Homo-oligomer: A and B are copies of this chain.
Amino acid sequence: MRLPPGPSAGRLRVWILACFSTRSIKMALNMKQRMDAGLSRKAARSSVSRSSVVKVRSVAAPAPPAAAVQEAKKAYGVFRLSYDTQNEDPSLTRTWKKTIKVAVTGASGNISNHLLFMLASGEVYGKDQPIALQLLGSDRSKEALEGVAMELEDSLYPLLREVSIGTDPYEVFGDADWALMIGAKPRGPGMERADLLQQNGEIFQVQGRALNDSASRNCKVLVVGNPCNTNALIAMENAPNIPRKNFHALTRLDENRAKCQLALKSGKFYTSVSRMAVWGNHSTTQVPDYINARIGGIPATDVIRDMKWFREEFTPKVALRGGALIKKWGRSSAASTAVSVADAIRALVTPTAPGDCFSSGVISDGNPYGVKEGLIFSFPCRSKGDGDYEICDDFIVDEYLRSKIRASEDELQKEKECVSHLIGMMGGSCSLRGAEDTTVPGEN
């Protein structure tokens, strides 16, 4: 595929119209967008045409053309362009839904090393939901990505119908129904939160644009890489083609940890804790909500009659759990983070129990609690199990809770101002320089 000579937008448009395949149009649009974004035409072309993706499909398809076979041969492992499904057990595959495409960033990292196997096992999306995994890594982690793919092959998961790996988000997010954005730069020694916001913000700006360009129009996006609320905001603002409602920041690990702490304190098993909302930012300003939480159906504050504990110990116990774990364990809590990602997805694809909720960082637009709009803010949510959700409107917010929520809201507003240049917002200035570090420890 060659560009017509001359750089004018008009000529480019004519050339686009002359393209006959959707793929070509998409590539051209990609290229135009990247050129608009300041890349030279040459760089844009090379960036679009480079195929760092080894991508192979498993749907029953007519015999692939010679070129495709060639491509399949280049692919390592068991995942190929087309499978002859005639030999498969129909009792297994008959009731299966259409394959969904799940893109995962930071795919060779520790959290993904747990998560990918949970996804492939059917534990998350259901035993009747075949999935395709589209794994994004960096140039540095390319070999490791292959290692992950090899381990997925050896695991023989029947529902895992396709695995592709790559380093270009525009390719890897292609037609993705879900994008699980695990990858982020960890905080280096002496790095301020403002620097972390900047560095990761740039990654999420690029990935947001790639989602906008390549992903399914109804793609659900879950950001795990920290600072996850603001990263999700940046991705969202750079992906205007995808509904704002579809972006989530992971606060489910905080919710799970909060449930565990309430169980521990009350001497009940964790399954008896419900309506455990976490409000606000996934940082130490997070607000695990003990006002609305229930233990065995009874308000938590009626079971644990110790307001001093709630006010002074509960929140730090939840927020600093990751750090406590690192001290014991010597490494960060990859497994339980992956479990909470699985829980967060499951919360959207299975109906919420009546009266219960789940916590997720979502766009605050139109929220019933007066939280400033335009922020990715964790709220109690409920879902019909269709991938969509609504913010619960029946949570009691007392004076104390409101003040805590306000502090987290203020922090998110400041984070937003620090990344204003990444989300097309004018006149923001970063007041977080020199501020106290509120990063949740052990989450990088």
Taking beta carbons and an 8 Å cutoff, which residues of A are in contact with B? 58, 77-78, 80, 83-89, 92, 113-114, 117, 121, 123, 143-144, 146-148, 150-156, 158, 253, 256-257, 259-260, 263-264, 267-272, 295-297, 321, 324-325, 328-330, 333, 335-336, 339-340, 343
Contact = CB atoms under 8 A, between A and B. Distances in A.
B83 A324 contact: no
B156 A329 contact: no
Given A329-B151, A339-B117, A270 B146 contact: no
Contacts of A88: 269, 271-272
Contact of A260 (B86, B113, B154, B343): B154
A258 to B, nearest CB: 10
A154 B263 CA distance: 11
A256 B83 contact: no
Given A89-B271, A154-B257, A256-B156, A325 B114 contact: no
A236 to B, nearest CB: 28
A43 to B, nearest CB: 30
A339 B114 CA distance: 11
Contacts of A121: 123
Contacts of A253: 154
A295 B78 CA distance: 14
B336 A155 contact: yes
A335 B151 contact: yes
A267 B58 CA distance: 11
- Binding site of A, secondary structure by majority: helix, strand, loop or mixed? helix
Contact of A147 (B152, B154, B329): B329
Contacts of A257: 154
Contact of A267 (B84, B92, B340): B84
A114 B329 CA distance: 15
Given A87-B272, A256-B154, A264 B78 contact: yes
A256 B151 CA distance: 10
B263 A78 contact: yes
A158 B271 contact: yes
Nearest to A329: B147
A190 B92 CA distance: 48
Given A87-B297, A113-B335, A156-B260, A325 B78 contact: no
Nearest to A148: B329
A441 to B, nearest CB: 14
A264 B143 contact: no
A335 B117 contact: yes
A296 B86 CA distance: 8
A121 B114 CA distance: 13
A300 B147 CA distance: 27
13 contacts: A78-B263, A83-B267, A84-B267, A84-B296, A87-B297, A88-B269, A88-B272, A147-B330, A150-B325, A151-B333, A153-B260, A154-B256, A156-B271
A144 B329 contact: yes
A145 to B, nearest CB: 9
A156 B87 contact: no
Contacts of A148: 329
